[in-house]
Amino acid sequence: MVSINKLFHDIFNNFNIKIFLIEKSILIFLFCFIFSIGLFSQNSNIVIPPANIKSIVLQPLKPNAYAPIIQLGEKLILSFDDINAQEIIYSYKIEHCDYNWEKSNMASTEYMTGYATDRIRNYENSFNTLQGYTHYQLQIPNENNRIKKTGNYIISIFDEEENLVFSRRFIIYQSNVVVGVSVHRSRVVSTINEKQSVEFVINHQNLLLNNPNEEIKIAIYQNGDWNSVIENIKPKYIRGTQLLYNYVDEISYWAGNEYLYFDTKEIRNATNNVAKTRLNNIFNTYLYYTEARGKKPYSFYPDVNGNFVSRTIDSDDTSLEGDYSFVYFALEFLEDLNNENIYIYGALNDWQITDEHKMVYNPKTKLFETTLLLKQGFYNYTYVTANNNMEINTHAIEGSFYQTENNYTVIVYYKKYGELYDQVIGVGSASSEILKN
């Protein structure tokens, strides 16, 4: 017979083994979670345009504003070029979305007056350019529709056969609450030189909240990059009519590096960061090759936080007279990529990871290279890596420095119990140009 002592000894050992396995699983999970912090996941509900659609811009109708976030009653401008230049009749559809960017339960008549779907009437062919194109432009709202609800929206563009060509996101808000935002150097010792933390307070004196933890949702973006969103964060403290979000590390970002840039407003000549230009049917623009900056000292120079502006010195109307060129990018990166790929990243491709923007290694030059067809203008961009799951690492190549100037935007959503949709009741923003510690 088995002794009582041996029986308890076996039970105790088995129990310890199970505890060990559980602890090991937890440690593996925590390791994977910590390792994944700082990776952005690309949103899957946005349709990437085909190769013939270029220079898509969706931004407010006011100077020096890039992110498509406007107050109810203000206007957005959507514009793009079709380099097939066949004057195709494109149409658009505007859909209201919930907090998670899924289509809301409202009918179009509930969030807008007029037509939710209509054709784009404003289009013209390019003039005096080597690369022909048709330029399309749409104002939102316009005489055929008026948006009357705040919230997340997606505008989709269709061709003559009703095929979905591409889509873009925008946000409409009302200022029912005051959002105060500040940016701080990371308080975590291990990332104090690489990260920035965002803190904010929501003042809702004119809004009665019964359950702020359930009625209020927030979304934070870095530099208007849709993939950078931090969401589903509850207030850390509730003090009277204030909701305080002053976490140590839950709302923190890799600061990254200042964006690279080039300017092709003088398309015939070498200018800022342009090594040379050549004419071969259309213009060819060769940029100086870039060395990865991750292990170099931080160096400040002004940027526009990843955005671009179409412009030319040859005409006042860049929309129709701005020409296109093949822009040649080259990057020197000597480290192991761990089966990841390198991509050009910024507003020039709506912060999307696509094959068109993937860098390919050239064994002859020992550089990563690619070529993009881009309209004349001033461009910001950076290099990122992405794995097979389309998780984006923004600092693997260019590094991350707490001194980097970034802009952060906080969107406040409100959904009262029984309501059908998520309202956007406030927007706040701050720059890390002046860090508060």
Domain boundaries, the chain: 54-173, 178-255+403-431, 260-393
Decide: 230 and 249 in contact? Cβ < 8 Å: no
Measured between alpha carbons, how far is 250 from 384 in angstroms, rounded to an integer?
23
Residue 339 CB partners (closer than 8 Å, separation 6+): 387, 388
Q: Give the pLDDT confidence score for residue 9 in this predicted structure.
A: 47
**Residue 60, preceding peptide bond in cis (omega within 30° of 0):** no
The predicted model scores a pTM of 0.89
**Does the fold of domain 178-255+403-431 match that of domain 54-173?**
yes
Amino acid at 336: D
DSSP summary character for residue 390? -
Give me the residues of the chain with pLDDT under 50, please: 1-9, 11-37
Q: Give the pLDDT confidence score for residue 63 in this predicted structure.
A: 83
**How confident is the model over 9-40, as pLDDT tens digits?**
454 444 344 434 444 443 334 433 333 445 66
Q: Give the pLDDT confidence score for residue 170 in this predicted structure.
A: 97
Question: What is the CATH code of the structural domain delimited by 260-393?
Answer: 2.60.40
Measured between alpha carbons, how far is 95 from 118 in angstroms, rounded to an integer?
13
- Give the distance, in angstroms, between the CA of residue 36 and the centroid of all CA atoms in the same chain: 18
Q: Give the pLDDT confidence score for residue 20 in this predicted structure.
A: 40
Measured between alpha carbons, how far is 40 from 230 in angstroms, rounded to an integer?
10
What value, to the nearest 5°, has the Cα angle with vertex 121 and ends 372 and 52?
A: 20
Q: Give the pLDDT confidence score for residue 193 in this predicted structure.
A: 96
Number of neighbours of residue 123 by Cβ within 10 angstroms: 19
Domain 178-255+403-431 matching CATH 3.40.50.720: the answer reads no
Domain 54-173 matching CATH 2.60.40.10: the answer reads yes
Decide: 200 and 179 in contact? Cβ < 8 Å: yes
At 80, is the secondary structure helix, strand, or coil? strand
Q: Give the pLDDT confidence score for residue 43 in this predicted structure.
A: 58
Q: Give the pLDDT confidence score for residue 40 in this predicted structure.
A: 62
Decide: 315 and 133 in contact? Cβ < 8 Å: no
Give how far Cα 95 sits from Cα of 87, 171, 201, Å: 25, 11, 30
Q: Give the pLDDT confidence score for residue 124 in this predicted structure.
A: 97
